[in-house]
């Protein structure tokens, strides 16, 4: 890929059990999907159409949020009704590679987004929890044949983000970092690079830059339509560059249709090619027929951003 941008990536969900354990209308258009369900919500026909559209759009990486959508051999109790067998997942990963999409796994271990962990989401920071985390990371890394990266999530772990939950837990200070270190070590032990969301740095930049491993790929994210110096989230792209972190900037069509393209334009002159791993589009909608247009619009936005990137040289 030209200009130091090897990956045009798309975030897709096998499982969507990551937010809340009770109904809430807090998350706007996604509120109808937010509450945990004990069964799969995934349309395979739509998935085939989306992956075909991704290839046509020049997308070359798909980040697959697995959650409880897999009957893990190490912990089959996590899988919901209709969860994929490991054989089915392995076959699908082979298909994705055959059409030019590099699959990357994602398991979000933030306590704000771990409804998929079932009972283990209420055992955070215990010996049992650490064992389950290690087991899942090892198994998934093997299933994905030592992927280029492993997304651990770890975003939005605050009380405010769990205000509507029945069960809320927030790791803070040394404990948050201890748990992240354990996850990073588990991923690194498989020969894979850890990948995390970067929003911790929005409020605690000094601690973040003192403790965040340079080996972890960073995805700062911003979904607004303003791109000027007064937007504090945007400054983090510059700070991550200054500190020497590899980045995968993330945009979305969550709130508007211009964010992703503007994210690419904004970051192009700010992140050096050696540190720019690519760009990730995160539409934050389940893989369901009702959201076909949302996904197709997002894919089209990536295609347009890539066209402009390559045209600019």
| CATH number of the 2-312 domain | 3.20.20.80
pLDDT for 170-211, tens place per residue?
999 999 999 999 999 999 999 999 999 999 999 999 999 999
pLDDT for 260-303, tens place per residue?
999 999 999 899 999 999 999 999 999 999 999 999 999 999 99
By the 10 Å C-beta count (0-12 exposed, 13-18 middle, 19+ buried), 228 is classed as exposed
Burial letters for 59-97: b for 16+ Cβ neighbours within 10 Å, e otherwise? bbbbbbbbbbbbbbeebeebbbeebbebeebeebbeebe
The answer, yes or no, to whether residue 14 has pLDDT greater than 70, is: yes
pTM of the model: 0.97
Report pLDDT for 4.
58
Residue that has been written with the tokens 């201890």 in this structure: 178
Report pLDDT for 41.
97
pLDDT for 214-251, tens place per residue?
999 999 999 999 999 789 999 999 999 999 999 999 99
The pLDDT confidence band at residue 27, using thresholds 50, 70 and 90, is: confident
The answer, yes or no, to whether residue 1 has pLDDT greater than 60, is: no
The pLDDT confidence band at residue 96, using thresholds 50, 70 and 90, is: very high
Domain spans of the chain?
2-312
């Amino acid at each position: 890929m030209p200009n130091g941008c090897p990956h045009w990536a798309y975030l897709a969900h096998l499982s969507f059990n990551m937010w809340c354990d009770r109904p809430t209308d807090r998350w706007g258009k996604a509120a109808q999907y937010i509450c945990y369900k004990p069964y799969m919500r995934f349309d395979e026909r739509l998935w085939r159409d989306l992956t075909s559209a991704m290839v046509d759009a020049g997308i070359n990486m798909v980040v697959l949020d697995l959650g409880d959508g897999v009957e893990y051999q190490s912990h089959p109790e996590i899988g919901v009704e209709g969860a994929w067998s490991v054989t089915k997942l392995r076959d699908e990963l082979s298909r994705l590679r055959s059409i030019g999409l590099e699959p990357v796994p994602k398991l979000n271990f933030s306590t704000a987004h771990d409804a998929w962990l079932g009972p283990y989401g209420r055992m955070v920071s215990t010996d049992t929890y650490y064992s389950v985390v290690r087991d899942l990371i090892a198994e998934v890394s093997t299933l994905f044949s030592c992927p280029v990266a492993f997304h651990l999530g770890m975003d939005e772990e605050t009380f405010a983000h769990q205000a509507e939950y029945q069960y809320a837990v927030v790791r803070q200070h040394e404990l948050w970092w201890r748990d992240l270190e354990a996850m990073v070590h588990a991923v690194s032990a498989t020969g894979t690079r850890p990948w995390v969301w970067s929003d911790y740095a929005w409020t605690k930049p000094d601690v973040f830059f003192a403790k965040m491993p340079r080996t972890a790929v960073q995805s700062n994210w911003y979904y607004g339509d303003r791109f000027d110096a007064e937007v504090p989230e945007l400054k983090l792209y510059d700070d991550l560059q200054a500190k020497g972190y590899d980045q995968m900037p993330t945009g979305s069509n969550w709130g508007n249709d211009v964010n992703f393209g503007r994210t690419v334009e904004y970051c192009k002159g700010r992140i050096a090619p050696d540190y720019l791993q690519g760009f990730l589009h995160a539409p934050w909608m389940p893989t369901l027929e009702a959201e076909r247009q949302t996904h197709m619009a997002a894919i089209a936005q990536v295609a347009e951003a890539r066209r402009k990137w390559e045209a600019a040289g």
